[in-house]
Amino acid sequence: MPRAMVNGINLYYEVTGDGFPLVLSHEFAGTCKSWEPQVRFFSRRYRVITYNQRGFPPSDVPQKASDYSQDILVEDLYQLLSYLGIKQAYVGGCSMGGNVALNFGIAHPEMTRAMIMVASGAGTTGRDTFVPSLEETARQLEAGGWKAMAKQYAQGPNRIQYKRKDPRGWQDFVDELAAHSNEGSVHLIREVIIKRPPVSELEAKLKQLKTPALIMIGDEDEWCIDPALIMKKHMPGAGLLVFPQSGHVINLEEPDIFNRALLDFLTAVESGKWVVR
């Protein structure tokens, strides 16, 4: 089981294929396995790196709340790439992982050949409902844990689309979610997701980014629509793709469309055809 000692913890990681590195960071309710359709597709052409962020076994689950923050997750990724000897990569992520990818690109533009943000930026708007909803999830996890609430969580308004499109894949998602660390998830909610800066507060930094970027969202993923539009408006190299009748995990809901769109983006970057204004 490959694990790297980085930033004071052990991170579980997987490397598949050869070629230019493509690193993918998972969402709060997922793990590196959430990228399996992309690993199988892109490892034909790229060196695909996926990993479990801190708080997700078999990566370490630090016990102290102070060991969690968005900046810490960004530093984890930086040190993991350094551990693997990677000087530059395509850097992408979904949801919480998409925020990591965005802020990694801001902090380390020299290492980021292109950025992929999927369903990212929730909490930028509607914080009066977003924050209480997350606090309630944290309280439920403290009371009963993921085993008691995984199925309910997976039927939320931006998750039910996955169940409708791929019932078997959705059930696998529920089963994996039930095995997550309750303690790690609570810390991630309170110290990372709630406290990270909204995308709207990054406007000046977004305008300075000269990195090609692909933003992808589902049109039924309400909390992620406004931040996607903000990123598209202010990032000189950003393009926006909206998936119809789709929710939060569009890479799993629509893997064929997702993979083709991402491949087209990477091909455009490599051929110098992606416009950065």
Domain limits for position 80:
3-125+198-270
Domain assignment of residue 174, yes or no:
no
Q: Average pLDDT, whole number, for the chain?
A: 98
Give residue 133's pLDDT band: very low, low, confident or very high (50, 70, 90). Answer: very high
Share of the chain above pLDDT 70, in %: 100
Domain assignment of residue 36, yes or no:
yes
Q: Look at residues 60, 83, 73 and name the one whose alpha carbon lies nearest to residue 104.
A: 73
Domain assignment of residue 237, yes or no:
yes
Take residue 72 and report the two structure tokens written for it: 């810490």
What pLDDT digit, counting tens, does each position of 101-123 carry? Answer: 999 999 999 999 999 999 999 99
Mapping DSSP to helix (H, G, I), strand (E, B) and coil, where does residue 149 land? helix
Residue-level pLDDT at 112: 98
Task: Give CA–CA dist 228/224, Å, rounded.
Answer: 6
Give residue 87's pLDDT band: very low, low, confident or very high (50, 70, 90). Answer: very high
pLDDT tops 80 at residue 198: yes
Give residue 196's pLDDT band: very low, low, confident or very high (50, 70, 90). Answer: very high
pTM of this structure? 0.97
Q: Which residues, in sequence order, are bridge partners of residue 218?
A: 243
Domain assignment of residue 135, yes or no:
no
Residue-level pLDDT at 1: 76
**Neighbour tally for 253: CB within 10 Å:** 23
Task: Give CA–CA dist 273/253, Å, rounded.
Answer: 28
Q: How many domains does the chain have?
A: 1
What is the average pLDDT across 10-31?
A: 98
Domain assignment of residue 235, yes or no:
yes
Take residue 164 and report the two structure tokens written for it: 């409708």
What's 239's domain CATH number? 3.40.50.1820
What pLDDT digit, counting tens, does each position of 219-234 carry? Answer: 999 999 999 999 999 9
Task: Give CA–CA dist 71/260, Å, rounded.
Answer: 31
Task: Give CA–CA dist 108/17, Å, rounded.
Answer: 24
Whether residue 112 contacts residue 89, with contact meaning beta carbons closer than 8 Å, is answered with: yes
